[in-house]
Amino acid sequence: MKARFRQSMSWLHTWTGVVFAWMLYFIFVTGSVGYFENEIDRWMKPEIMVSKGLEDSAITNIATRQLSIHGDNASQWYVSFPTSRDPFIEISWLEPENAERKTAKQWHESSLDPVTGALIRNRQTSGGEALYRLHYNLHYVPQLVGYILTSIAAMLMLIGLVTGLIIHKKIFVEFFTFRAQKGLRSWLDIHNIFSVLPLPFHLMITYSGLLLLMGITMSPVIDLRYGEGQQNHRQFYAQSQIEQKSQQIIEMLPTELSVQAALADAKRRFKSHKVSYVGVVERNTEKEHIEIWFESKSGVEFASLLEYRAIEDKVMLETSLGKAGGAASVYDFLEHLHEGLFADIYLRWIYFLSGLFGAAMVATGLMIWLKKRKAVNSTNKILTSIIERINIAMILGLPIAIASYFAGNRLLPIDFPSRAAWEMHILFITLGLCILYCGLASKKWLWQRMLCCAALLYGVLPILNALTTEHNIWLSWINSDWLMVGFDLTVLFISICFVAAFWVVHCRQEDISVKAAQ
């Protein structure tokens, strides 16, 4: 009975893993890259000027001056202060819809020159955000389809993880085991290492990922109580996501209330916290109020909010204390754990690495499946060969495509029409070309050639950066523009990893051909 149970679990593990494997790999890789969304954004907007040593009040002055020039009739204003992840000043404002010019309401954002206070014209780019969004919207498909497909993938991943745990007989004994040069055994060992050691991450990321899209996948449940359609669902979200707030009247006259005054007051109340951004919301209406957001590193909850509003002859301060409902706080907790916005640089790197381990887990799983399939004579050789080729194209083509996305940012002319969209097209065109190439080229050198190509592209990125902008590694270092340095060094390191992988594969192939010749 027990043996049969394990066997059936093994079957389930194989097929839940294989069916969506390429998509899971795609999700893991793009999601991992997403942990460095802001850092990538900085690299893709080389015009940004890093701001250092300015007082928050000085920044507020510069920013509100620009906002009143460019967004005087805007309904919302936000100023984002320099932080270690976004070391620059950014303003954004919401332009209301204009019936005369027939424009819908629209967000504008711009970074500021910290010295002159002028707006900086950034190049159009999809940036880190679009790259990070890939892992749940899949870009070309309608949003809903993307959500549902990724949810299914997450569900299968969860089944894969649980069944994997069941069929792994010696999880403790083989915790550290890796036996090299043993063919299938070695692949299994690698697969186990990439699955078992980061298992807490895998379980957390898969389960929370599934939960985050629950509003979509479980929408019939919401339908039952609130009725179908977006309008009704909004009611559900409004009700379940109510914030708990404390209110108090503070010693300030409504006439004194300004962004500066609110900022000073907030800083007095929370001396140890850093302000991440301030906003003026619902401007020019009765409900106008000022928001102060803190960058909080004290827990997994990442930000806390103070709101100042004038009510008749008094000023009221509202402090957010988290979600009122229990379910919503669990949701919030898992969301923060998934997104890792609270993570410092150390945790962020481990998040990134764990994500890549997840990708490696999927990739090695596929390799094992292919090897087993090839060992059986009765299988369809042509089909297996096609899958094997696409497999190489996906595993190495995706990193290559991401590198070409970055290269596109530097190489597309600045005034290229719909430049941002084309950066993304380049990513997918490259991926398509990789699949085409792997489908046609001789299989013997395929791994090596793809690895070469990846190493070359990642190695070229810092050079491209130095040639097309004024940011070379040396200058960035002197200017202590750490995000630029970090990005350039990281892609160089990735390039070296690909070279190392090339070397390993190449030596092994030589070994095999020597053995075959004997």
Q: Which residues bind other proteins (CB under 8 A)?
A: 172-178, 193, 197-198, 200-201, 298-300, 333, 337, 342-343, 346-347, 350-351, 353-354, 357
Smaller CB separation from other proteins, 263 or 337: 337
Rounded to an integer, what distance in angstroms lies between the CA atom of residue 193 and that of residue 178? 8
**Residue 65 CA: distances (Å) to CA of 90, 93, 101, 210:** 13, 13, 25, 44
d(CA 242, CA 254): 27
Based on CB atoms, which residue is closest to other proteins, 144 or 345? 345
Cα→Cα distances 391→190, 400, 450, Å: 18, 14, 12
Q: Which residue, 239 or 298, is less far from other proteins as judged by CB?
A: 298
Q: What is the DSSP letter of 101?
A: T
Q: What whole-number distance in Å separates Cα of residue 505 and Cα of residue 511? A: 10
Q: Residue 270 CB, nearest distance to other proteins (Å)?
A: 18
Are 307 and 322 in contact by the 8 Å Cβ rule? The answer is no
* Block residue for tokens 């309608």: 142
* Shortest spacing between CB 37 and other proteins, in angstroms: 19
- Output 26 or 342, the one with its CB closest to other proteins: 342
Nearer to other proteins, 63 or 205 (CB): 205
Nearer to other proteins, 183 or 299 (CB): 299
Bridge partners, residue 93, by sequence: 77, 108
Q: What is the nearest approach in angstroms of other proteins to the Cβ of residue 331? A: 15
Which helix (DSSP H) or strand (DSSP E) does residue 297 occupy?
none
**Cβ distance to other proteins smaller for residue 201 or 437:** 201
Could you tell me the smallest distance in angstroms from the CB atom of residue 395 to other proteins? 20
- Residue 357 CB, nearest distance to other proteins (Å)? 8
Q: How far is the CB of 294 from other proteins (least distance, A)?
A: 16
* Nearest distance in Å: CB 177, other proteins: 5
Q: 243: which 2 tokens? A: 């914030």
Distance CA 113, CA 122 (A): 11
Q: Which is nearer to other proteins, 44 or 193 (CB)?
A: 193
Task: State both tokens at 457.
Answer: 């592209």
Strand-pairing partners, residue 89, are 112
Could you tell me the smallest distance in angstroms from the CB atom of residue 300 to other proteins?
A: 5
Contacts of 383 (CB under 8 A, 6+ apart): none
Say if CB 481 and CB 466 are below 8 A apart.
Answer: no
Measured CA to CA, the distance from residue 24 to residue 22 in angstroms comes to 5
Sequence-distant (6+) residues with CB within 8 A of 354 are: 32, 198, 201, 202, 205
- Quick one: 129 or 174, whose CB is closer to other proteins? 174
CB of 335 to other proteins, least distance (A): 13
> Among positive and negative, which fits the CA dihedral 194, 200, 203, 208?
negative
